[in-house]
Structure 1
Amino acid sequence: MAKAVLIDLSGVVYTGQTLLPGAAEALDRLNAAQMPYRFLTNTTRRSKRDILRLLRNLGLDIRGDDLFTPARAACAWLKEKDLSPHLLVHPNLAEDFAGCAADRPKAVVLGDMGPFFNYEVLNAAFRLLARGAPFLALAANRVFLDDDGALSMDAGAFVRALEYSSGAQALLIGKPAPAFFDAAAASMGCALAETAMIGDDAEADVAGALRAGAGQAILVRSGKYRPGDERAAEPRPTAVLDGIADAVEAVLAGT
């Protein structure tokens, strides 16, 4: 039986500005069972502060330490390496890098810029990479469920474009990077093998967690899920269930 739970946010707990059915009750069940949990998100269009505000506006009492974001991990990596970020991120995310040094050698840090991607910003990053700058990808997802309910391109295509042009290999910071899952599990005093992951992305959430060493990973049929996703990546999900409420019940039942 799992001792802790890792939970994706967008598409699992909420979509857009709407709490998904059963999400609040599922978290209540975990609290009542004294099962620790952390939220792992690859969202890079919102700052951590904005995500927490959204969750609290939806009626969820979430502490900042419960939320793991790629920006948080990237800042720690930049500090360790004594580097400054050259940011290709959405303006909403820039505040999460405000504490980073500005006068060190540059590392290119790419997230989902959305409509702010253009040739000039990509080419400026390419030139830094061509001169040997390190390359951090906050996420490399193919698609995400946009606020209008349709799938949109995620940052992965832009990561691949810069890798192709520069010959540099991006270091992935968010899911499915094993260190991202490990850090969240360690914050609960657990080994990753003792945790269960719940997500709507068969690649980044589910297969990524299992490859990293998670004890189980449940794919939910909400958010970006489309029929057949459970067969799209290896390893396959431990289970495929309708939503977070069913997933939490399965974890608590030890199934």
Structure 2
Amino acid sequence: MTKAILFDISGVLYIDGQPIPGAVELIMMLRQHSVPMRFVTNTSRSTCQSVFDELIRMGFDIKPEEVFTAPVAMKSLCQAKGYRPFCLIHPDLMPEFSDLDQSRPNAVIVTDAADLFNYEQLNHAFSLLMDGAVLLGIGRNRYFKSVGRLQLDAGPFIQALEYAADVKAQIIGKPDTRFFHEAVSSLNVRPDEVIMIGDDVAADVIGAIDAGLQACLVRTGKFLPQDEAKAKASNALIANSVVEAVNQAFDLDF
């Protein structure tokens, strides 16, 4: 039985700053029915506060504590482990890590860094890894969709550094099982009672199922037709939109 929902955000609730039709009303109805929800994302270009502010601007009825981002989980790990990171990240994300000690780095954090993925920055990260720094990545996403086209995400660059320095990155974010379980832990339900709704068949759908959750792939955002076969092979639901996904999961008509 489905009792709670994890929502991916970009590509599922909105695209390029515009809500998916019916998504705002859907969240409002779920709130009225007291359905526990978390909004989970591997976003590499926004702080957690920025993600929340953007959702509020679009009219979504959410609470700050319901937003669960990979960068916040990454920061918590650095604080717990005493990591002093070299941050190869997007400029818009830098405030999230600004209060960490970044002198004499003993770790390398890689997110979607956009134009900062240049030779100088990547080579510096490589040098630190060769000197023993640990490699930390936010997701292995290959691409994301923005302004109507697919664009490279952090995954290919993380893999390049792994190959060059002969190291293995610790991934914080989807599809890591620990990330899903951390998000579920605050919902007071079992993982198998939670459905993850996302547009990324690998990170959202297969990752959630591997973590013991239910999952639904939506045909919005970065969805590609060839993703359906992978979703079906994992026994995931497939829906045209987030509204249809919730209706399927709860057998309701929101």
Scaled to the shorter chain, the TM-score interval is over 0.9
- What residue number does 1:120 align with? 120
Residues of 1 paired with 2:235 and 2:196: CA distance? 10
CA deviations over 1:12-42 (Å, ceiling 9, x no partner)? 0011111111111221221122110001111
Work out the CA distance in 2 between the residues paired with 1:157 and 1:165: 12
Aligned residue number for residue 7 of structure 1: 7
Contact 1:129/1:166 (<8 A) preserved: yes
Q: What are the residue-to-residue correspondences of 1:99-118 with 2, within 5 Å?
A: 99-103=99-103, 105-118=105-118
Q: Are 2:231 and 2:238, in contact at CA under 8 Å, matched by a contact in 1?
A: no
Alignment of 1:73-152 (within 5 A): 73-103=73-103, 105-146=105-146, 148-152=147-151
Contact 1:83/1:104, CA 8 A, preserved across alignment = no
Please state whether the residue corresponding to 2:250 is helix, strand or coil.
helix
CA contact (8 A) 2:18 2:58 kept: yes
- Cα distance change, pair 75–202 in 1 and its aligned pair in 2 (3 A): same
Asked whether the 8 Å contact 1:219–1:237 carries over to 2, the reply is no
Q: Deviations over 1:186-229 (max 9, x none)?
A: 01122222211000011000000000111x10000010111121
Aligned residue for 1:27, secondary structure, equals: helix
Q: Does 1:219 align with 2:213?
A: no
Which residue in the other structure is 2:24 paired with?
24
Q: Is the 8 A contact 1:220 1:243 kept in 2?
A: yes
Unaligned 5+ runs, structure 2: none
- Residue 155 of structure 2 aligns with which residue? 156
- Aligned counterparts of 1:179 and 1:142: Cα–Cα separation in 2: 20
Shift of 1:62: 2.2
What letter matches 1:92 in structure 2?
Answer: D
Query: Normalising by the residue count of structure 1, what TM-score does the alignment of the two structures yield?
Result: 0.94
Shift in Å, 1:235: 5.2
Q: Could you say what secondary structure the match of 1:250 adopts?
A: helix
CA shift, 1:236, in A, is: 2.2
Task: Write the letter of the residue equivalent to 2:110.
Answer: L
- The 3-state SS of whatever aligns with 1:12 is coil
Match of 1:241 among 217, 239, 250: 239
CA contact (8 A) 1:37 1:66 kept: yes
Alpha-carbon separation, structure 2, partners of 1:170 and 1:233: 26
Q: Give how far 1:56 is off.
A: 1.0
Q: Percent identity?
A: 40
Aligned counterparts of 1:88 and 1:235: Cα–Cα separation in 2? 35
> Using the alignment, how far apart are the partners of 1:191 and 1:78 within structure 2?
28
TM-fit CA distance, 1:153:
1.0
Letter in 1 for 2:72: R
Aligned match of 2:186 = 187
Query: Which residue of structure 2 lines up, in the alignment, with residue 72 of structure 1?
Result: 72
Contact kept in structure 1, 2:140 and 2:158, CA below 8 Å: yes
TM-score (norm 2): 0.95
Q: Which has the higher contact order (CA 8 A, sep 6+)?
A: 1
Distance 2:17 2:103 in 1: 38
Matched letter for residue 231 of structure 1: A
Retained in 2: the 8 A contact 1:202–1:237? Answer: no
Letter matched to residue 75 of structure 1: K
Measure, in 1, the Cα distance between the counterparts of 2:251 and 2:237.
Answer: 13
Query: Is the contact between residue 207 and residue 235 of structure 1 (CA under 8 Å) also seen in structure 2?
Result: no
Provide the rounded CA distance (Å) in 1 between the counterparts of 2:95 and 2:39: 20
- Say if 1:210 and 1:235, in contact at 8 Å, map to a contact too: no
Whole-Å Cα distance in 2 between the matches of residues 30 and 36 of structure 1?
A: 8
Partner of 1:46: 46
> Deviation at 1:103?
4.8
Which is further off, 164-173 or 21-30? 21-30
Tell me what 1:172 maps to: 171
Classify the secondary structure of the residue corresponding to 1:21: coil
